[in-house]
Structure 1
Amino acid sequence: MFYVLLACFGCLSGVTAVLFGFGGGFVVVPLMYRLLMARHSGDAMGESAMHIAVATSTCVMIVNALVATRKHHRAGQMIRHYLWPFGGFIGLGAILGAAAATAMNGEIIRYAFISYLGLTILDCLLRRGFLTRGSDSVPRRLAKTETVLGGATIGIIATFLGVGGSVMTVPLLRRCGLSMSQATSMANPLSLPVALAGTVTYMVMSNFTGTDFGTWFIGYVDLLAFVVLTLGALLGIRLATPWIGRIPDRLHARVYVGLLMLVMIGMFSG
């Protein structure tokens, strides 16, 4: 049942990667955390449940982000100047965020995850430019501060929480004047630096804690869970691809915020 659920939620993560830029973290992290706590309460894996969930999530995001980026590129949704050097600074911040997360208690990461979701939802609802976009609005380029300081901050927070960064990049790009379809498309390649830096760091840093979870683990990354989640995600990406660019902008934005609310409630109840 454990792996059946992972496969189903992996499929869902593939759908959200294509349509909303969520590379897997918002789907995988809450699920894996709750399943690991249920199966390993009181042992070493239970105590490290949040670290394992976040680490495995970042690994799954590599595949999700790569495949979804290819699909969006074929659909003509990529805008190059929003990707570099912004993505480079996200990658630098990602290394710092992953290193900090391995030194933190799992419950601290969990509540940081919940708090960040709450703040993001409020920001999307209260600040102009996210739920509605003027039909005559002209997209602007990212400012230097947004590129350097914003990129590094996104990398730190995203890798610390294992969420890929879409929850920060999508609202930011949305306020630059991009449509929801364009903003969520950009979120996938911008999640790659976070996923790569986070995965490598989580694999290496656990060696310094003396933790060994068994044969199917590299550091905090659960390889069996990764394979099952990835296979499910590839199916989800295939199912969602025909919908690229076809969802009305206002509906797309509202569903995005609604999904954030559902994840926050699920994580809080866990």
Structure 2
Amino acid sequence: MLGIPLQDLLVLVAALLGAGLVTGLLAGMFGVGGGAVIVPVLYQIFGLLDVPEAIRMHLCVGTSLAIIIPTSIQSFRAHRARGKVLEAVLRLWAVPVVLSVIAGGAIAAFAPALLLKLVFVAVAGSNAVKLLSGRDDWRIAPDLPGRLGMRLYGVLIGLASSLMGIGGGAISNMLLTLHGRSIHNAVATSSGLGVLISIPGAIAYMLAGWSQMASLPPLSVGYVSLLGFALVAPTSTLVAPLGARLAHAMPKRRLEIAFGVFLLLVSARFVWSLIA
């Protein structure tokens, strides 16, 4: 970083602060951690810092998970204050989510980027189709499954989220609405998942990248950049409550369309990176 001209450094700082604003807004509105925004911005920044291609994506995902920690906490507190969080669901998901996030962090250190992108496109694309269709009658079942089924869902959410560097909202929102829960309840509950996913996920990526410290930029702990965390996390945390207020003020259909469009844009970005 010390070799970057001042003008370029200012551009990088502005990009990180802008990513923090967008991340916080998305976290509050949609119950997502904002990893889909953070990861591509960090990828460009770490490229300018000459981080080797072989470990750059890992550093992006690990740093994204660390940034999601305070954002998710702030978003969860805002949604919980409005009484929309399904706390019984979070209690059932807590243990399987945390354990599968740790496993996902270990797998991600060796998984190819192609696999991670394809999984994300499949999950986000199917979710977007459901939301944009406006079909409230799309259901897996009229109610949530029993304890075993919910724990299996927790494993799916935790594993996929840790592989993609996201807070889990894109997956849990779809699952909850397919089981008859409102989009507002789904968004609020997903904000709590971000807390369960981001903390163990960031720790797992720190440990996974410990042996690569010599190849990582200054102020990195394993696959987590403290510089990225310091610039993005405070900004996104401040903005998250505004996003939560916007979510609860928006009509249900408008919130569904906004989230669906967001997921389509993210999916398109990954598809383009595969074919470009």
Same fold (TM over 0.5): yes
Matches within 5 A, 1:54-69: 54-69=61-76
> 1:239 — aligned with what?
242
Q: CA deviation at 1:73?
A: 1.3
Is 1:229 matched with 2:232? yes
Once residues 132 and 247 of structure 1 are traced to their aligned partners in structure 2, the CA distance between those partners, rounded to angstroms, is: 18
Corresponding letter in the other structure for 1:178: R
> 2:268 — aligned with what?
265
Per the alignment, in what secondary structure is the counterpart of residue 185 of structure 1? helix
TM-score, normalised by the number of residues in structure 2? 0.85
Q: Deviations over 1:56-112 (max 9, x none)?
A: 110111111111111111112122211112122111111111110012234543444
**RMSD of aligned alpha carbons:** 2.3
> 2:109 — aligned with what?
102
Matches within 5 A, 1:29-44: 29-37=39-47, 39-40=48-49, 43-44=50-51
Sort the Cα spacing of 1:112 and 1:141 in 2 relative to 1 into closer, same or farther, 3 A: closer
Corresponding letter in the other structure for 1:35: I
Once residues 242 and 85 of structure 2 are traced to their aligned partners in structure 1, the CA distance between those partners, rounded to angstroms, is: 20
Q: Deviations over 1:31-70 (max 9, x none)?
A: 2223333x14xx4444322111111110111111111111
> 2:157 — aligned with what?
154
Once residues 239 and 252 of structure 1 are traced to their aligned partners in structure 2, the CA distance between those partners, rounded to angstroms, is: 15
Once residues 214 and 128 of structure 2 are traced to their aligned partners in structure 1, the CA distance between those partners, rounded to angstroms, is: 36
Per the alignment, in what secondary structure is the counterpart of residue 245 of structure 1? helix
Q: Deviations over 1:126-167 (max 9, x none)?
A: 7xxxx3437xxx973443343121111211111011112111
Sequence identity of aligned pairs in percent?
24
> 1:194 — aligned with what?
197
- The count of residues paired between Structure 1 and Structure 2 equals 260
Mark the runs of 5 or more structure 1 residues left unpaired by the alignment. Answer: none
1:75 maps to which of 61, 79, 82: 82
Sort the Cα spacing of 1:186 and 1:15 in 2 relative to 1 into closer, same or farther, 3 A: same
Mark the runs of 5 or more structure 2 residues left unpaired by the alignment. Answer: 1-10
Once residues 187 and 248 of structure 1 are traced to their aligned partners in structure 2, the CA distance between those partners, rounded to angstroms, is: 19
Once residues 142 and 90 of structure 2 are traced to their aligned partners in structure 1, the CA distance between those partners, rounded to angstroms, is: 15
Matches within 5 A, 1:80-99: 80-99=87-106
Q: Deviations over 1:212-242 (max 9, x none)?
A: 4143100011111111111220232243243
Is the Cα–Cα contact under 8 Å of residues 216 and 222 in structure 1 kept in the other structure?
A: yes
Sort the Cα spacing of 1:112 and 1:265 in 2 relative to 1 into closer, same or farther, 3 A: same
Corresponding letter in the other structure for 1:144: R
Is the Cα–Cα contact under 8 Å of residues 132 and 257 in structure 2 kept in the other structure?
A: no
Q: CA deviation at 1:8?
A: 0.9
Is 1:169 matched with 2:179? no
